[in-house]
Structure 1
Amino acid sequence: MISQDSENKDSPLMRLSSTVFWQADAVNFIFNFVSSNAVNLFGYTIQEWHQTGFWARHIHPEDREEAVNFCKQCISRKEDHEFEYRFLTKDKQVRYVRDIVNISFDKAGEMLLHGLMIDITDLRHAEEILHINTLALTTISQGVIVTDPEQKIISCNKSFSEITGYPESEIIGKNCRFLQGEETNQHTRKLIREAITEKKEFNGEILNYRKDGTPFWNELSISPVLDQKNRLTQFV
């Protein structure tokens, strides 16, 4: 059992952490210790966390039965376990959490649960946005390619392959210039190079060539992708 004094400690590092440290009774799932940052993350007081049935009661209704049953099954087998579910904050917001649970026994042989409840909401939202963006790239009719900062192709969508005749496997690692040919306007090429060097957008028409050698006019749009520190990560 962790003392009340240690439970009340609230270091600056703990307040900023998205991981709640906890200890609970393995029979009734009653918390006997919860780190103080749980108050900031989920809005409930430490006293509320200690209430009987608190954990299960605040799991999202759609996840509650599965999460509780999974935990019970692992406990019955005396297995450490890890699982994810949605947890409701005091102001009714939904947070995604990953719970990492370890099992131990005290001197009397009673089973105890020790865990880390990690708030992964931002990660889940980022994954959802990525999924939506990926879906958009695969379904739009315009050809799209993504390159690294050195202009080497990382990926392309299906429409690009249909327009140019090149499957993705044949263009990975190449520079987009491979689509250009003898009749491609030199001034347009220069404008593209300048935009890339200066990490600026480019919009214009360019004559490119398909895999079978036939030329086609391409309405080209190039956009640099910058991270939070304004560093170039990709071109799209």
Structure 2
Amino acid sequence: GIYAPVTEDNQPNPFLDDPLRDVTTLEGLKLTKINPAYMTRQVAEIAMESEGVHFHLTSLRPLRPANAPDKWEEKALESFEGGSKEKFELVRTKEGPLYKYMAPLLTKKACLKCHAEQGYKEGDIRGGISLTFDATPMLASIAHQRNHLITLHILGFFFAVIVFTWMSRLTRKSEAIIEESRERYRELVEFTDAVHWELDFKTLRFNYISPQVEKLLGYPASSWIDFDFWADHLHPDDREWAPAFYKDLIARGKYHTFTYRMIAMDGRVVWIRDIVNVEADESGKPVRHRGILLDVTELKEAEEETAHSLEEKEVLLRELHHRVKNNLAVITSLLSLQSSHMGSKSAEEILQESRNRIMSMALVHEQLFQTKDFSNISILNYLESLLMNIVSSYGPGKGMVIIERDIADISISIDVLIPLGLIVNELVTNSLKHAFGPGQKGLIKGSVTNPGANDYVITVSDDGKGMPEDLDVEKSDTLGLKLVNILAAQLEGTLEFESKEGTAFTIGFSYHG
């Protein structure tokens, strides 16, 4: 405590048991000790007079009777004994509402000088200090704040109602627009004969299939539950490969189109062209598939009919070429018979040359009869057969002459091959007849090359006695060379002649297939 002068308002504390409570200074001034409890009472009296706030130091075992607790303080002190840290409450009294607050006072070592005799130990709850003040001003402020908040809440409520109403109208309008767009899209989708569908990737169940599917296959849209329904109604020949093909491409996220057959409810076979698109998520994994089923049965039937017609036409063309070849063979046979009854050697040679010319054309028709491609014929196969026939037609007398061939394996049309064959026939025949003497050995070379994309060169040469250097092949009056000139012009080609150590003819032309 502290010492203070003894005055009317500061009298010695009768409850302070201290032999040095009262002292007198050398000057004769009387002092009394003010302990913490006494000082608290004095502060409380000042606060009560100036602020209307009442402090009260109290205990369940007070030394000063005036410090005895009221009922509220007694309950608070008991709660401190039970472990409560503080007590605050709004108390309604006859005088008006009061706020009461109380905190416990713990026994410290210094407190034991005065309170050890009461049995207190350090750390015990010795009592408490309470604070009481009028709650009316604060409650009025709270009420004002509450009214303000209520007003704000009411205004907020009405604002929310207005916003909600506006949003509801906007939402209904948006929903109406969306529904209208959805209805237009549905009408557009369901207007066509194409069947639109959507399948979930994980469940393999149909999210949607347009009602046209019933018109197409007879099964109502409600029957199309999942992938298995589709697979189970495929044509038996497509039931294995089509689902495997579909799953493989879908797993890889591939857009694809494929054609297969389905069995309709009435047993019809319907050709379907399925156009499938894969929709993936952000990571690229397939999420759903969308597609369009198109009925291509009429197209397939038309294709099959066309293929059948083409096959029939090929058979007819092959038969036609076969008959032309046979008729030409009959003519060559007649010419052979006629030549055997001719009395003139020159007449026999003329008939033989005519026979070879006809045979060169007959070989073309024979090649066409044997091939499946009527637009192009192999030059190699044709000229091999032609040269063999020319040599054999002159009999063993020309057996000492060797024919070398260097023929590119290319194919050309009949319109080019017939004049080309006649040219080779005339030039090889000319070499066999005039280039070598009786029993003389000789070499005839025949070649066909393709030096450019559309350029072709035919060369027929021999190592015989040659022809006059001043020979003008374009003005020659022999039938063979006249034919060569005419046929080269028909091919829109060039004809070159050279006679050095034999004879060489070169024909160049272009062919664009």
Question: Where on the TM-score scale, by shorter chain, does this alignment land: which range?
Answer: 0.5 to 0.7
Shift of 1:160: 3.4
CA distance in 1, matches of 2:415, 2:305: 26
| 1:94-105 alignment, distance < 5 Å | 94-105=269-280
SS in 2 for 1:32: strand
| 1:24-103 alignment, distance < 5 Å | 24-51=199-226, 53-103=228-278
Q: Is the CA contact 1:9–1:36 (under 8 Å) kept in the aligned structure 2?
A: no
User: What is the match of residue 161 of structure 1?
Assistant: 321
Going from structure 1 to structure 2, the CA distance change for 1:62 and 1:41 (only over 3 Å counts) comes to: same
CA distance in 2, matches of 1:6, 1:110: 27
User: What is the match of residue 215 of structure 1?
Assistant: none
Structure 2: 5+ residue stretches without partners:
1-178, 325-361, 369-374, 376-412, 417-513
User: What is the match of residue 21 of structure 1?
Assistant: 196
Q: Is the CA contact 2:209–2:224 (under 8 Å) kept in the aligned structure 1?
A: yes
SS in 2 for 1:21: strand
Structure 1: 5+ residue stretches without partners:
141-156, 173-236
Deviations 1:74-111 (A, max 9, x none): 12212112211111111121111111111113579661
SS in 2 for 1:117: strand
Shift of 1:114: 0.8
Deviations 1:39-75 (A, max 9, x none): 2111111111235621111111221111111111112
SS in 2 for 1:96: strand
CA distance in 2, matches of 1:126, 1:16: 22
Comparing 99-108 with 52-61, greater Cα deviation is found at: 99-108
SS in 2 for 1:63: coil
CA distance in 2, matches of 1:72, 1:52: 10
SS in 2 for 1:79: coil
Q: Is the CA contact 1:7–1:34 (under 8 Å) kept in the aligned structure 2?
A: no
CA distance in 2, matches of 1:10, 1:90: 26
Q: Is the CA contact 1:42–1:90 (under 8 Å) kept in the aligned structure 2?
A: yes
| 1:145-156 alignment, distance < 5 Å | none
Instruction: State the percentage of identical aligned residues.
Output: 29
User: What is the match of residue 111 of structure 1?
Assistant: 287
Going from structure 1 to structure 2, the CA distance change for 1:93 and 1:8 (only over 3 Å counts) comes to: farther
User: What is the match of residue 479 of structure 2?
Assistant: none
What amino acid does structure 2 have at the position aligned with 1:21?
A: H
Higher relative contact order (CA 8 A, sep 6+): 1
TM-score (norm 2): 0.27
User: What is the match of residue 125 of structure 1?
Assistant: 301
Does 1:134 pair with 2:310? Answer: yes
Going from structure 1 to structure 2, the CA distance change for 1:23 and 1:6 (only over 3 Å counts) comes to: farther
Going from structure 1 to structure 2, the CA distance change for 1:44 and 1:6 (only over 3 Å counts) comes to: farther
Going from structure 1 to structure 2, the CA distance change for 1:61 and 1:52 (only over 3 Å counts) comes to: same
Deviations 1:169-226 (A, max 9, x none): 4569xxxxxxxxxxxxxxxxxxxxxxxxxxxxxxxxxxxxxxxxxxxxxxxxxxxxxx
TM-score (norm 1): 0.54
SS in 2 for 1:53: helix
